[in-house]
Chains A and B, each alone.
Chain A
């Protein structure tokens, strides 16, 4: 590359005349080529980075939906599928742009903070609901996977379009022009925000009712014996839910306390040790945590949901500690001083003033930690172990979604593999919603 040219540039500060010559000469073709070439390479690399996500999402949509069988239509009608699918695609894009514009407008209308929160929640919803209505339509494409992949891409494009149009619409000038031309009062804007949501929900319900094929086995039944068709993942869904609840108790209590300790007692002699060990714990592989939980609980008492929850809780702690510490440090000192100046003891200042001020950030941290451990199967293999029936007692072996995915995906039977794909679709959707919510929360900071 143009090394000599570049060194010329970096030597430039020594003389003013050098700079003027450079300006007169202009940029040499080699440098120009390097500049343009690198920007193209960077663009291509970015596309390459994002591709796996789209591919995974599309694949799971295409495959997982067939196993969930939310709606089943007579197959072999590709033309019907195509027509309906293209219509939905157009609808998706239109609705996401529309709802984005509506949200952008609402956000900039300087309305009440409460209204802002509501519209924020609703604003996140269209993408989710559209995703669900895509689920419904994909039922049509059971044996036409390429088309399902297309829909997976559409589902990912939706939030992007939504974000883009939200941004454009929250530009004050666009807003002024629009509200001037449309003359919409505030409540009508709110309705406009809710409209896509209602439309999509209504569409979904109508489809479901009209076809009468709504199959909820996936959510309410335990797995069928290995290799047989039918059944569901109810055992994994309840198991995941129970263990994550127990894990969050450990993760939230210890994590927030650790964060408070690091942020509010910076001069305590133990502070550097706690900070260092918390960082170290964040880097320890999940499977090693599984071995630790095995040593603590399983080797003496056998496999149990408690042991799984313990391992997951350990994994949550460092994430919650770090985010809590960071947001607590963002709370201005003046806020603390104001509280102390009123004669409040420090612990009341911490609990009643500083923590609420940092609440949204802490919730973000908890959501991120949950999203992280919800997908962990490695620490559960030797702790929760798995169970083929719905088990609500955490002192017994329990199943979890990632565990079922792992077992199913490595199974030799086609039916189990399909179930694993369906479980993966459910898991990935839940995790995406959690990170979407976490993002919305942190944006309000």
Chain B
């Protein structure tokens, strides 16, 4: 009797405590949802003046002039896209190659330490990359750039620079002039692209390595049995099989590149002019936030800077959704990533 009466009481108690626990966990987990909506609200509230007064023109005009209270973000949007895509184009082949080396070529005793080094590359903070770019790479670029201003020793280059300056003065550029330095500070768009390339390498590389390791051994063996060479196995069997995961890693890296702030802010030069040379100063949305938010006194200036953050917020949401979509679309049937 006592057993029978105990049991339901016990289970009722446990289900009651279970429910309390569930509520606590749910409440704490909803903080994540809350953070998202609070972010949305705070960014929306701060950027409201700009959206109201400037509206859509904010995204299509070029003038960014705090003195005249004119704000147009197109040059930063272009700067963000150019730096991110160029860095992506440079880093993806390197990242996939290093992933292949770690997963396919290197013996285990070498693969593990190299994989570790690549992961450490992701652990280096943004400011440290910026510092390194500023103190090590910039002087090297600077040395080369100075040759364009040296009429005595490099008359050809100096002449080229003079020709290009005329073109630049008319707000134009040509293919050749695009690669001629417009100043000799070392900083600028190109340095930002270089440092971004290094920074996003590990994201693609480690994701690609993981998915390449997931490719079933059967796939490789079947290809080898047909007499394929190692490279043929990689290019025809492994990479197609792993493409969904690799693309996911690429998009992850793209997201990082778009939002990368301090390293870029330190080296890009913060200029809102038209990009006339790859060596010239430019700006990205994130770098403008870092460089200008602290100094922004005018309400509209501050609001415009936050609007850039708002745009970045939406871009990162879209990139995240894109990554999910791509992985779903490209995953060969029967694989669980």
Which A positions have Cβ atoms within 8 angstroms of B? 6, 9-10, 12-13, 19, 22-23, 27, 31-32, 34-35, 38-39, 41-43, 45-46, 48-50, 52-53, 55-56, 59-60, 63, 156, 159-160, 163-164, 167-168, 253-254, 257-258, 260-262, 264-265, 268, 270, 273-274, 277-289, 291-292, 295-296, 314, 317-318, 321, 343-347, 350, 371-372, 374-378, 381-382, 402, 405-406, 409-410, 417, 420-421, 424, 427-428, 431-432, 435, 439
Contacts of A27 in B (CB 8 A): 227, 229
Of A49, A167, A350, A402, the contact of B21 (CB 8 Å cutoff): A350
| B175 contacts A by Cβ under 8 Å | no
Closest Cβ neighbor of A258 among chain B residues = B29
Contacts of A435 in B (CB 8 A): 119-120, 123
Contacts of B112 in A (CB 8 A): 163, 167
Task: Please choose the segment from B30-38, B57-65, B69-77 that sits at the chain A interface, where 4 or more of its residues have CB less than 8 A away.
Answer: B30-38
Of the listed residues B127, B129, B236, B306, the one surrounded by the most CB atoms of chain A closer than 10 A to its CB is: B127
Given A345-B18, A377-B127, A50 contacting B132 (CB threshold 8 A):
no
- Tell whether, in the assembled complex, residue A284 and residue B126 are in contact, meaning their CB atoms are under 8 Å apart: no
* Inter-chain pairs besides A285-B258, A410-B266, 12 sampled, C-beta below 8 Å: A9-B223, A10-B226, A35-B230, A41-B97, A167-B112, A254-B29, A257-B28, A273-B33, A285-B259, A405-B131, A409-B266, A427-B128
- Tell whether, in the assembled complex, residue B21 and residue A377 are in contact, meaning their CB atoms are under 8 Å apart: no
Task: Please choose the segment from B144-152, B157-165, B275-283, B311-319 that sits at the chain A interface, where 4 or more of its residues have CB less than 8 A away.
Answer: B311-319
| B114 contacts A by Cβ under 8 Å | yes
Contacts of A377 in B (CB 8 A): 125-127, 262
Distance of A49 Cα from B209 Cα, bound (Å) = 14
Of B17, B114, B120, the contact of A345 (CB 8 Å cutoff): B17
- Tell whether, in the assembled complex, residue A49 and residue B121 are in contact, meaning their CB atoms are under 8 Å apart: yes
Can you list 7 A-B pairs with a CB-CB distance of less than 8 A? Answer: A9-B228, A43-B105, A59-B132, A260-B25, A402-B127, A421-B131, A428-B125
Contacts of B17 in A (CB 8 A): 345, 347
Contacts of A417 in B (CB 8 A): 135
- Tell whether, in the assembled complex, residue A409 and residue B290 are in contact, meaning their CB atoms are under 8 Å apart: no
Distance of A172 Cα from B30 Cα, bound (Å) = 50
| B181 contacts A by Cβ under 8 Å | no
Given A284-B259, A371-B123, A409-B266, A381 contacting B294 (CB threshold 8 A):
yes
Which B positions have Cβ atoms within 8 angstroms of A? 10, 13-15, 17-18, 20-22, 24-26, 28-33, 35-36, 38-39, 42-43, 45-46, 93-95, 97-98, 100-102, 105, 108-110, 112-114, 116-121, 123-132, 134-136, 198, 201, 205, 223, 225-232, 234-236, 252, 255, 258-262, 266, 286, 289-290, 293-294, 306, 309, 312-313, 316-317, 319-320, 324
- Tell whether, in the assembled complex, residue A164 and residue B124 are in contact, meaning their CB atoms are under 8 Å apart: no
- Tell whether, in the assembled complex, residue A278 and residue B32 are in contact, meaning their CB atoms are under 8 Å apart: yes
Contacts of A59 in B (CB 8 A): 132, 135-136
Contacts of A254 in B (CB 8 A): 28-29, 31-32
Query: With contacts defined as CB atoms under 8 Å apart, how many contacts are there between chain A and chain B in the complex?
Result: 296
- Tell whether, in the assembled complex, residue B232 and residue A283 are in contact, meaning their CB atoms are under 8 Å apart: no
- Tell whether, in the assembled complex, residue B98 and residue A49 are in contact, meaning their CB atoms are under 8 Å apart: yes
Give chain A nearest CB distance to B98 CB in angstroms: 4
Closest Cβ neighbor of A285 among chain B residues = B259
Distance of A344 Cα from B118 Cα, bound (Å) = 45
**8 cross-chain pairs, A with B, having the tightest CB-CB distances, nearest first:** A375-B125, A285-B259, A295-B42, A345-B14, A257-B28, A347-B21, A45-B97, A261-B29
Of B14, B266, B309, the contact of A291 (CB 8 Å cutoff): B309
- Tell whether, in the assembled complex, residue B123 and residue A431 are in contact, meaning their CB atoms are under 8 Å apart: yes
- Tell whether, in the assembled complex, residue A428 and residue B124 are in contact, meaning their CB atoms are under 8 Å apart: yes
- Tell whether, in the assembled complex, residue A56 and residue B320 are in contact, meaning their CB atoms are under 8 Å apart: no
Of the listed residues B29, B43, B45, B227, the one surrounded by the most CB atoms of chain A closer than 10 A to its CB is: B29
Contacts of B94 in A (CB 8 A): 45, 48-49
